[in-house]
Amino acid sequence: MNTAIRLVKAGVCYRRYAKPRDALFEWVLGQVRHQVFHALQEISFELAQGSSLGIIGDNGAGKSTLLRLLAGNLAPSSGQCQVHGRRSALLELGTGLHGDYSGLENARLGLALRGLDNAAIEAQLPKVLAFAELGDFIKQPVKTYSSGMVVRLVFAVAAVVEPEILIVDEALSVGDQYFQKKSLDHLRASLAQGASLVFCSHNLYQVRELCEQALWLEQGKLKLLGESQAVVDAYQDAVRARQAPPMSTPKTSIEPSLASFPSLQVVSLRGAQEQAGFLPMFITWQRFVVEVRAASAGWRLEDIHIGLVIRRNDEIQCYGISTLHDQVPLQAQADGSIQARFVIEKLPLLSGEYCLEVWLIDSSGLHIYDARERCCPFRVQQSTQAQGIGLSWIPHQWEVEAN
Amino acid sequence: MEQAELRRYLALIYQLFRRDLTERYQGTVLGFAWLLVQPLFMLGLYTLIFSEVLQVRFNAQASNTHFALYVFTGLLAFNACAEVLTRSTTLITERRDWLLNTALPSWILPMIPVIVSVVLEGLALCVLLTALLVTGQLQVLGLVFYLPFLLIRILFSLAAAYSLAVLGVFLRDLRQLMPAFLTVLLFISPLLYPLELIPTDLRPLYDWNPLAQLVEAYRAALLQGVFEAERFGALLLVSTSALVAAAWLFQSLMPRARYVL
């Protein structure tokens, strides 16, 4: 396997000057007038041709600097940075674009900056336009574009050059759902065709899905490098630990071993028919109960809610609801734990395999304390075809006109 | 440099040059026609002022359009240099975004205003040659003798562009100084008067002004059809050394410039 990227103790340090002219005087007079800021220190890793690397870390951890280094916009101040193969970078949104020029002109220049000659530029332009799907807007100045349109243009330019190494920053997250999917599909297709990918995102889910390996940067240093699932988990743990309220005085007897964050403890189904070797089974219109037990970790109960989604095995969300939306206040047990049951008296689901997603969310519905995805798989069996076909029984009636 | 690499750089230079010109005339009614209108207007104005209003003549035999063409020829070199000098100081700072976020090689940027200046000069030259032809003063070999000095002009412009571009990053005042400097340059070069009018004890000042030398050489070639070999040799030496020094300055300072961009 060939190496696409090899970094050996690569470091980048910036010099900070009080005024621009100090940098000149320093050179002329030979006296130091700067402070050194280490953006990256001693980063070493290798990326094999055709594999993918996610870069995660907090803001200011050096992610952008690392990407610039890999993109060749920046030379390492120490160590080595070797990149083999044609690369194309999609850095922070909108950089390298000129607002007064039309999308078309920007596309031309973008292609030239990526090392295409004039003939190749004109040959690739139609592909860029087709990919970006900007219609007549392509002739308008880029300053009139929305951020979603900018990302379409930039991604289209970066994508058509068919690089051997694609370097993608954050940018994707601003596109609309349709284009996000299109660009992610494109990245996946490039990977399948043997290109290498370096992908930096705060969307850890995307990193996990798209990248084999991940690299966690912390304050300019490599904190962890490894299989992406493991690195993302470790990073998420660290973020959660940091976000925990400082010195949350345990009011009641909460187990000290628990993270100081609300967490799910037990999610279980009640009332299913159990049979060895088969999934727990419910009959349509039967009573369906999910029992959830969670630790409040000393948090205000008003700020904890349980959300639940029933998902079929083809990923269709059948139904999802939460105590937040149903406006059901949670109660704490003596030991600080929360216990709640989600009850459907007459389960309307039709035959199929389903599973649950259970979420512990805050009162804004945005923050997720804890989640169980694809847990408690179960089967639903219709008692009769007469209950209909499809996903769920829907209350209905027929009205037949009589003479 | 490999051929493919060279082609890529040429493509980049071409795209940057294109945008530069487009940007300049974007939204104007005349568009690219301004490129020709400007020199035409200047020549018309000079003819009106010097030939009709002031009726300046070097001697009794000279035609009344002669002085206007004389001034115009000198301004050919001056305007081209002025274009480069005004643009260079902000060249790098204006393209900060590209330099930091794309793989744009910084050494390409100072070439753009120089190329633009050659285009502007070329169009003004066409206007001049037409005027000379119409007034029957065209020197057949003039164009051939002019080209070597155009090369000198380009070398000087490149030297100025490279050094000012990188110095402009550190010394932001340079930009404000430039208009004043250009006015001084206009008067210490024999643009509106012949060099012979300068008192001999002030002559060394002019001898060491490369622009004054260039203006004189342009006139000798285009108006008199004379090639001044000695002047060419001296200017070639000076301009090449200036360019080498500028390139060295640019190369040594550019890594530092990135820190303060």
- pLDDT of res. B241: 97
- Strand pairing partners for A341? A291
Across the range A219-247, mean pLDDT stands at 74
Contacts of A89 in chain B (CB under 8 A): 102-103
From residue A260, give the alpha-carbon distance in Å to each of A107, A239, A240, A251, A333. 50, 13, 9, 12, 17
Nearest to A142 by CA among B10, B97, B115: B97
Cα A366 versus chain centre, distance = 15
Is the CB of residue A326 less than 8 Å from the CB of residue A282? no
3-class secondary structure per residue, chain A: CCEEEEEEEEEEEEEEECCHHHHHHHHHHCCCCEEEEEEEEEEEEEEECCCEEEEEECCCCCHHHHHHHHHCCCCCCEEEEEECCCEEEECCCCCCCCCCCEHHHHHHHHHHHCCCCHHHHHHHHHHHHHHHCCHHHHHCEHHHCCHHHHHHHHHHHHHHCCCCEEEECHHHHHCCHHHHHHHHHHHHHHHHCCCEEEEECCCHHHHHHHCCEEEEEECCEEEEEEEHHHHHHHHHHHHHHHHCCCCCCCCCCCCCCCCCCCEEEEEEEECCECCCCCCCEEECCCCEEEEEEEECCCCCHHHCEEEEEEEECCCCEEEEEEHHHHCCCCCECCCCEEEEEEEECCCCECCEEEEEEEEEECCCCCCEEEEEEEEEEEEEECCCHHHCCCCECCCCCCCCCCC
Q: Could you give phi then psi for residue A344, rounded to 5 degrees? A: -115, 115
- Inspect the interface and report whether the beta carbons of A96 and B98 lie closer than 8 Å: yes
Nearest to A203 by CA among A168, A227, A178: A168
pLDDT in tens, A107-151: 888 888 888 888 889 998 999 999 888 888 888 888 888 888 888
CB atoms within 10 A of CB B6: 11
ipTM metric: 0.76
B98 contacts A20? CB cut-off 8 A:
no
Cα first-last separation, chain A: 79
Mean pLDDT of A160-165: 85
Closest-approach residue (CA) in chain B for A28:
B253
Confidence band for A254, pLDDT divided at 50, 70 and 90:
very low
- Do residues A199 and A210 make contact, with C-beta atoms less than 8 angstroms apart? yes
Chain A touched by B14 (CB under 8 Å): yes
pLDDT value, residue A255: 39
> Which candidate, B211, B233, B222, places its Cα nearest to that of B77?
B211
Rounded Cα–Cα distance for residues B40 and A106 (Å): 33
Q: Confirm or reject contact between A171 and chain B (CB < 8 A).
A: no
Answer whether A35 touches B (CB < 8 Å).
no
pLDDT of residue A387: 83
Chain A residue numbers touching B98 (CB-CB < 8 A): 96, 113
Rounded Cα–Cα distance for residues A205 and A202 (Å) = 9
Mean pLDDT of B52-63: 69
The answer to pTM > 0.80 is no
Distance of alpha carbon B66 from alpha carbon B70, whole angstroms: 6
Going by their DSSP bridges, the two strands A263-270 and A288-295 should be labelled as antiparallel
Arithmetic mean of pLDDT over chain B: 88
- C-beta atoms surrounding A355 within 10 Å: 17
- pLDDT interval class at A246 (50, 70, 90): very low
- Best to test chain B binding among A118, A125, A139, A169 (most B CBs inside 10 Å): A118
Residues forming a β-bridge with A281: A273, A379
> CB–CB of B12/A114 below 8 Å?
no
Q: CB distance from A15 to chain B under 8 Å?
A: yes
Pairing outcome for strands A87-90 and A34-48: unpaired
Rounded CA separation A351/A384 (Å): 10
Is B170 in Cβ contact with A109 (below 8 Å)? Answer: no
CA distances from B95 to A164, A236, A387, B90 (A): 27, 38, 68, 8
Rounded to the nearest angstrom, the minimum Cα separation between B92 and chain A is 13
Which residues on chain B are in Cβ contact (under 8 Å) with A14?
A: 259
Q: Which tokens belong to B199?
A: 């008192």
CA–CA distance, B150 with B206 (Å, rounded to integer)? 20
What's the confidence (pLDDT) of residue A93?
Answer: 66
Q: What is the mean pLDDT of residues A50-60?
A: 89
Question: Are A356 and A260 a contacting pair, CB within 8 Å?
Answer: no
- The yes-or-no verdict on residue A252 having pLDDT over 60 is no
- B94 contact A CB<8A: no
The dihedral region occupied by A312, where left means phi > 0, alpha psi between -120 and 50, and beta the remainder, is beta
Task: Return mean pLDDT, chain A.
Answer: 84
Contact A24 B253 (CB under 8 A): yes
| Angle at which helices A147-160 and A177-192 cross, to 10° | 20
- Kindly tell me if the per-residue pLDDT of B52 is higher than 70: yes
Å between B27 CA and nearest CA of chain A: 11
CB contact at 8 A, B77 and B218: yes
B207 — contact with chain A (CB < 8 Å)? no
Predicted pLDDT of residue B99: 83
Say if A258 is an interface residue toward chain B (CB within 8 Å). no
The verdict on B167 touching A (C-beta cutoff 8 Å) is: yes
Residues of B in contact with A124 (CB under 8 A): none
Q: Give the sign of the dihedral formed by CA A244, CA A249, CA A253, CA A257.
A: positive
Please give the Cα distance from A142 to A341 (Å, whole number): 53
Q: Which CATH fold would you assign to the domain A263-383? A: Immunoglobulin-like (2.60.40)
Q: How far separated are the first and last CA of chain B, in Å rounded? A: 29
Average pLDDT of the residues in A62-75: 86
Pairing of strands A165-168, A196-200: parallel
The three-class DSSP label of residue B27 is coil
Q: Does B97 touch chain A (CB under 8 A)?
A: yes
Positions of E strands within B47-93: none
In B26-62, which residue ranges form alpha helices assigned H by DSSP?
34-46
Flag whether residue A91 sits within 8 Å of chain B, measured between CB atoms.
yes
pLDDT digits (tens, 9 = 90+) for B66-109: 888 888 899 899 999 999 999 999 999 888 888 887 778 889 99
Considering CB atoms only, which of B22, B103, B257 is closest to A73? B103
**Which residues 6+ apart lie within 8 Å of A109 measured at CB?**
A98, A101, B15, B16, B19
Q: Quick: pLDDT tens for A75-95.
A: 888 888 898 888 888 877 666
**For testing the chain A interface, which of B10, B14, B15, B249 should be mutated: the one with the most A CBs within 10 Å?**
B15
Q: Does A72 touch chain B (CB under 8 A)?
A: yes
Amino acid at A59: N
Query: CA nearest A36 in B: which residue?
Result: B259
Q: Over the stretch A286-330, which tens digit does the pLDDT of each residue have? A: 999 999 999 888 788 888 899 999 988 777 888 999 998 899 999
* Among the partner residues A17, A20, A121, nearest to B172 by beta-carbon distance: A20
A348: its two tokens: 């309307």
Dist. CA A264–CA A13, nearest whole Å:
44
Give CATH 3.40.50.300 domain extents, chain A. 3-240
Q: Which one of B102, B164, B166, B171 would you mutate to disrupt binding with A, by most A Cβ within 10 Å of its Cβ?
A: B102
- CA B196, B199, B204, B205 dihedral sign is negative
Question: Does the pLDDT value for residue A250 go beyond 50?
Answer: no
What letters, b where the CB count within 10 A reaches 16 and e where it falls short, cover A175-186? beeebbebbbeb
> Within 10 Å of residue A129's Cβ, how many Cβ atoms?
18
Cβ–Cβ contact A36 with B under 8 A: no
- The tens digit of pLDDT for each residue in A259-278 reads 467 888 888 898 888 887 77
Identify the residue whose tokens are 């340059």. B185
- In a mutational test of the B interface, the residue from A36, A117, A167, A169 whose CB has the highest number of chain B CBs within 10 Å is A117
What CATH number is given for A3-240 in this structure? Answer: 3.40.50.300
* CATH 2.60.40.770 boundaries in chain A: 263-383
For residue A357, the cross-strand partners are A309
Asked if A95 lies within 8 A of B14 by C-beta distance, the reply is no
The strand pairing partners of A16, in sequence order, are A35
- Give dist(CA B94, CA A192) in Å, integer: 40
pLDDT band, very low/low/confident/very high, at A172 (cuts 50, 70, 90)? low
CB nearest B19 (choices: A15, A91, A101): A101
Chain B hits for A100, CB-CB cut-off 8 Å, are 23, 26
> Tokens at residue A100, please?
């007064």
Burial A112-122 (b: 16+ CB within 10 A, else e): bbbbbbbebbe
